[in-house]
Amino acid sequence: MRMSLRASMMRSWICLIAAVAAIAMLGSSCRQVAAQAGTTAARTLVRAGHLLDVKTGKTLDAQTIVVSGDRIASIAATSATPAQPGDKVIDLGGMTVLPGLIDVHTHLTMNPNFDPYYELTQTSAKEAINGVVNARTTLMAGFTTVRNVGASGFVDVDLRDAINAGQVPGPHMQVSGPLIGITGGHCDENLLPIEYHRIGDGVADGIAAVQHKVRENIKYGADLIKICATGGVLSKGDDPQASQFTLEEMQAMVADAHRLGRKVAAHAHGAQGILWATEAGVDSIEHGSYINDEAIAEMKKRGTYLVPTLYLEDWMLEFGHLPPFYHQKMLDVSAVAKKNIKHAYESGVKIALGTDAAVYPHGLNAHEVEVYVRDLGMTPLEAIQTATVNAADLMGWTDRAGSLDVGKWADVIAVDGDPVKDVKLLQDVKFVMKAGVVYKGQGAE
């Protein structure tokens, strides 16, 4: 009987081992099937007549970008990239394909209306609606990535999150939340008398207070910090050439932001404010209208980016209808900015494209590229690089945007013709893919 029991137990163990082995084999088989399914899953093949390498300026003919999910899986000659069963093929014919463009200075939740009554009647809800409309417009213009550098009520945080969740179409976004500025400065609310006690969301004075604002913005979702180092143009009662924050205040803000993993963009028109902001360690100077040799030397020394916003001057002078307290400042800045920024560019300061879209209509962002060629003396390729590789570098997103490379986001645009010969073609983008999804042109959902 003991033998019978032992034999029975042995049979049970054998059955158990066999069952475990069978389960293991089944699991291995399932993994193999899943792996095979992954390798043969539906892909998108973007057949490009011409493909521009924005890093080198070289154009390759008859290339295919293989997109899997939201990333570029491979790039090879079309002749060597046959379609597989289930592939989606997008034939762009003779178009030139290049990476989605990047604008590092936008305000998607705002519109170009500077009537004081309009400005005072804007609410967070209205700005959110603006953001939904303007994000789509910007994406359709071929700008698949932006930095939003200033929005009240953290509306840009919500817009970024809605885009990331697939609720609304729009570009990849880095957002700053409210602009941080001094009492009565460019980033304050200066249109109402004292009895209303209206104060801008990001207003702070003194080292402890500005540190608190940096930490508060990060707490509520900011990807970067935007500070106002000087006065501005579209604000009442301040001087664009006058410094606002002290050097010590800016040093405190930059130190906190960098320690907490955020870059800092500084609105700065005046030369003293540009110099102090650069010495404080900011990552980019926005506008830079009155930049001088001392500031240029410091920016070159530290590798600080300059983000010109020049097309807005052209648009404003032709189409803008500004209140008198804005208009004269716009004339004064426009009279000197291009000459000074051209000097900075020729001196070797790094340039990333920014537009200040919202000062003029969203969707016209690519006009900035034309201005860099026409008025700053850049080659077309250099101008395109400000909106691709340079902008991605400033954002810290070189691993995911700024060029067409394996492993990066499948952010692809196409134009008719050669943009290296005529950058104005970027003002009429025919095809837009962001993160593997086609939003404009053949294959659009």
pLDDT tens digits along 23-69: 344 344 434 433 333 444 589 999 999 999 999 999 999 999 999 99
In a domain, 400, yes or no: no
CA distance 170 to 299: 32
| Cα dihedral 205, 211, 212, 215 sign | positive
Q: What HEC string does 276-316 produce?
A: HHHHHCCCEEEECCCCCHHHHHHHHHHCCEEECCCHHHHHH
Separation of first and last alpha carbons in the chain: 74
pLDDT (0 to 100) of residue 36: 39
Residue 269 shares a structural domain with residue 134? yes
pLDDT (0 to 100) of residue 48: 98
Number of CB atoms found within 10 A of residue 439's CB? 18
Residue 124 shares a structural domain with residue 198? yes
DSSP 78: G
CB of 88 within 8 A of CB of 136? no
Residue 270 shares a structural domain with residue 122? yes
CB of 326 within 8 A of CB of 117? no
Domain count, the chain: 3
203: domain CATH number?
3.20.20.140
Number of CB atoms found within 10 A of residue 424's CB? 16
In a domain, 445, yes or no: no
Task: Give the pLDDT confidence of 235-246 residue by residue, as tens digits.
Answer: 888 888 889 999
Q: Which residue has the tokens 């969203």?
A: 362
Any idea how long the chain is? 445
Residue 415 shares a structural domain with residue 293? no
In a domain, 192, yes or no: yes
Q: 0.85 exceeded by the pTM?
A: yes
Residue among 225, 103, 223, 99 nearest 160 (CA): 223
Residue 201 shares a structural domain with residue 349? yes
Residue 89 shares a structural domain with residue 196? no
Q: Is 408 helix (H, G, I), strand (E, B) or coil?
A: coil
Distance of CA 238 to the CA centre of its chain: 29
Residue 412 shares a structural domain with residue 287? no
In a domain, 401, yes or no: no
pLDDT (0 to 100) of residue 97: 98
Residue 7 shares a structural domain with residue 143? no
Residue 146 shares a structural domain with residue 294? yes
In a domain, 331, yes or no: yes
Question: Is 31 or 181 the better-scoring residue by pLDDT?
Answer: 181
Residue 225 shares a structural domain with residue 323? yes
Residue 264 shares a structural domain with residue 309? yes
Q: Which domain holds residue 19?
A: 1-39
pLDDT (0 to 100) of residue 106: 98
pLDDT (0 to 100) of residue 41: 59
In a domain, 402, yes or no: no
50: domain CATH number?
2.30.40.10
In a domain, 216, yes or no: yes
Task: Give the pLDDT confidence of 376-405 residue by residue, as tens digits.
Answer: 999 999 999 999 999 999 999 999 999 999
pLDDT at 85 over 50: yes
Residue 360 shares a structural domain with residue 420? no
Average pLDDT value over all residues in the chain: 90
